[in-house]
């Protein structure tokens, strides 16, 4: 797989065997590939090294057939042994420089980040992409605090390498993640735990494509902004203002808080976010 194809992914799928009892990892991942998954990661936190190696061999063959990059979580040695396309590291794993020494210049190295400082360090250290999350609380990574969509927006503004939003992302909230500035998403349980992983991938891809097409230009507090926010609420999240007390005026008319989620934006709209200053 040529390195140039690696940046093309928008829908990233990760294995999670416990989410599909009775179905094999290979069958479920093949369904996601049929549905259009654009990059696959093997993540097996409980199996022995031998088990991970066996799954990696099978998924390497499958992803080759579908011409999709194949990443392995946690095991750079198995990346080499199976000729996978890259490794995903965590903040506690080996440094990027060491992984690069092991894997050479052509394999992909991704790393999880949970704040902007880690993201900028990953970029400086030569990561090919970063994970940004967990955006929402998730049972797939229990006990880890959600970074919220604010960090997605920070990453969109400041990170120049590809970033993928991850953690608790479902069809019910993916539009908020896209509106916050992501254009690549990774969903684990919502996809591999679905009764129809292929259909679920197609649904996510439709949302990703719609998000990309819906870019519009609005004037926000006097400044022209390009945004993929569909609604006033999404624009507020993208601006990182969702926790502030705000009054919003759209084309000179105040929009009640309860209507933000259903008030659609269009190109040319003028929107004022006025901070509400309490006092007595």
Ligand X SMILES: Cc1nc(C(=O)O)sc1CCOP(=O)(O)O
Ligand Y SMILES: Cc1ncc(COP(=O)(O)OP(=O)(O)O)c(N)n1
Which residues sit at the interface with ligand X, rule CB under 6 A? 112, 131, 133-134, 138, 140-141, 166-169, 187-190
Q: Judge whether 97 and 126 are in contact, CB under 8 Å.
A: yes
Q: Annotated catalytic, 141?
A: yes
Catalytic residue status for 112: yes
Q: Determine which one of 3, 23, 57, 141 is catalytic.
A: 141
Site for ligand Y in 95-134 (CB under 6 A): 110, 112, 131
Span interacting with ligand Y, options 88-96, 97-105, 189-197, 244-252, rule CB under 6 A: 88-96
- What is the Cα–Cα distance from 32 to 49, expressed in whole angstroms? 25
47 is a contact residue toward Mg ion (CB under 5 A): no
Query: Is 93 or 214 the residue whose CB approaches ligand X more closely?
Result: 93
Please identify which residue in the block is written with the tokens 């990703």: 208
Partner in contact with 169, chosen from ligand Y, Mg ion, ligand X, none, beta carbon below 5 to 8 Å by kind: ligand X
End-to-end CA distance of the chain: 64
Smallest separation (angstroms) from ligand X to the CB of 46: 13
Judged by CB under 6 A, does residue 43 bind ligand Y? yes
DSSP string of 182-225, one letter each residue: -S-EEESHHHHTSS-HHHHHHHHHHHHHHHHHT-EEEEETTEEE
* Residue 127 burial class via C-beta count within 10 angstroms: exposed 0-12, middle 13-18, buried 19 and up: buried
Q: Say which residue the tokens 């009640």 belong to.
A: 256
33 sits near ligand Y (criterion: CB under 6 A): no
Q: Which residue is nearest to Mg ion (CB)?
A: 90
Helix (H/G/I), strand (E/B), else coil: 233: helix
In the complex with Mg ion, the residue whose CB is nearer, 125 or 272, is 125
From the list 3-11, 86-94, 211-219, 247-255, the region that binds ligand Y by CB under 6 A is 86-94
Residue 7 to residue 145: CA distance in whole angstroms: 28
Number of residues that bind Mg ion (CB under 5 A): 2
Region of 41-49, 77-85, 154-162, 211-219 interacting with ligand Y (CB under 6 A): 41-49
3-state secondary structure 101-140: HHHCCCCEEEEEECCHHHHHHHHHCCCCEEEECCCCCCCC
Site string for Mg ion, 62-101 (x = CB under 5 A): ------------x---------------x-----------
Instruction: Please compute, for residue 72, the number of CA atoms within 13 A of its CA located in the half-sphere on the CB side.
Output: 25
Residue 31 contact among ligand X, Mg ion, ligand Y, none, beta carbon within 5 to 8 Å by kind:
none
Side-chain half-sphere of 168: how many Cα atoms within 13 Å? 19
Closest distance to ligand Y from the beta carbon of 175 (Å): 20
The residues of the shown chain that bind ligand Y, judged by CB under 6 A, are 12, 14, 41, 43, 45, 73-74, 88, 90, 93, 110, 112, 131, 164, 166, 186
The residues of the shown chain that bind Mg ion, judged by CB under 5 A, are 74, 90
Catalytic residue set: 43, 112, 141
């Amino acid at each position: 797989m040529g390195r140039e194809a690696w940046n093309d992914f928008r829908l990233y799928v990760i294995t999670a065997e416990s989410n599909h009892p009775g179905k094999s990892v290979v069958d479920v991942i093949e369904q996601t590939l049929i549905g259009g998954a654009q990059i696959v990661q093997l993540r097996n936190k409980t199996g022995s090294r031998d088990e991970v190696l066996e799954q990696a061999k099978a998924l390497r063959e499958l992803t080759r057939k579908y011409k999709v990059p194949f990443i392995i979580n946690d095991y750079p040695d198995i990346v080499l042994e199976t000729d996978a396309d890259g490794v995903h590291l965590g903040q506690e794993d080996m440094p990027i420089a060491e992984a690069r020494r092991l894997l050479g210049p052509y394999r992909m190295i991704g790393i999880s980040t949970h704040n902007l400082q880690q993201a900028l360090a990953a970029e400086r250290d030569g990561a090919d992409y970063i994970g940004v999350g967990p955006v929402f609380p998730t049972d797939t990574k229990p006990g880890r605090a959600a970074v919220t969509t604010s960090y997605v927006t920070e990453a969109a503004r400041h990170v120049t390498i590809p970033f993928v939003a991850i953690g608790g992302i479902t069809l019910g909230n993916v539009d908020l993640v896209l509106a916050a500035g992501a254009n690549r998403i990774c969903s684990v349980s919502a996809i591999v735990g679905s009764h129809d992983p292929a259909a679920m991938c197609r649904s996510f891809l439709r949302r990703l494509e719609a998000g990309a097409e819906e870019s519009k230009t609005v004037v926000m507090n006097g400044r022209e902004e390009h945004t993929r926010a569909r609604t006033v609420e999404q624009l507020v999240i993208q601006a990182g203002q969702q926790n502030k007390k705000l009054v919003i005026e759209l084309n000179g008319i105040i929009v009640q808080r309860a209507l933000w989620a259903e008030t659609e934006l269009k190109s040319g709209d003028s929107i004022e976010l006025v901070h509400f200053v309490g006092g007595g």
